[in-house]
Amino acid sequence: MVTITLRGQAINTNGELPNIGEQAPDFKLQNAKLQDKTLADFTGKKILLNIVPSLDTPVCAKSTKRFNGLAAEHDDVFMLIISADLPFAQGRFCGVEKLKNIQPLSMMHSRKFAKDYGVLLVDGPLSGLTARAVIIIDEQGKVIYTELIGEVSHEPDYDTAMTVLAG
């Protein structure tokens, strides 16, 4: 369990992010067409997981738009935005914002992804959603970067994530 904050109030995750060098846990998430997607569907390129509580919040929306812009410069990377939002809501958001470089994935069927990646919030007003985190996985499925944002209302460290992707 890791303690982070939401507007200064302590809240807890169910565990810790995967360790750098470990094989990334497999997952089954749903895309906009309600198709199951697994880690294996994204082999051959690095994968950036931008894990957010909900695209219906200002910071999540901002980070998603920022990663969409950065994805345009990194066609060698799958940039996945993962939230508990329904695929329909994710699709609407991406359509309205004209986001075409990222792939939103939903945890609508299960919170297993959040549990396996240690980002499930277990208490507080966002309980059942995810903490904000960025995880980068290399072409062989190994975790090469993790960032759990200590304050849910803060944005991730885009520069460091992009440096890792470039390296």
Helix then strand then coil, % of the chain, to nearest 5? 25, 30, 45
Single out the catalytic residue among 4, 24, 51, 60.
60
C-alpha separations of 15 from 74, 102, 115, 147 in Å: 31, 27, 7, 14
Instruction: Give the whole-angstrom CA distance, residue 14 versus residue 29.
Output: 19
Residues present in the chain in total: 167
**Is residue 60 flagged as an active site residue?**
yes
Q: In terms of DSSP bridges, do strands 77-83 and 28-30 run parallel, antiparallel, or are they unpaired?
A: unpaired
Instruction: Give the whole-angstrom CA distance, residue 107 versus residue 29.
Output: 6
Instruction: Give the whole-angstrom CA distance, residue 36 versus residue 166.
Output: 29
Q: Which residues are catalytic?
A: 60
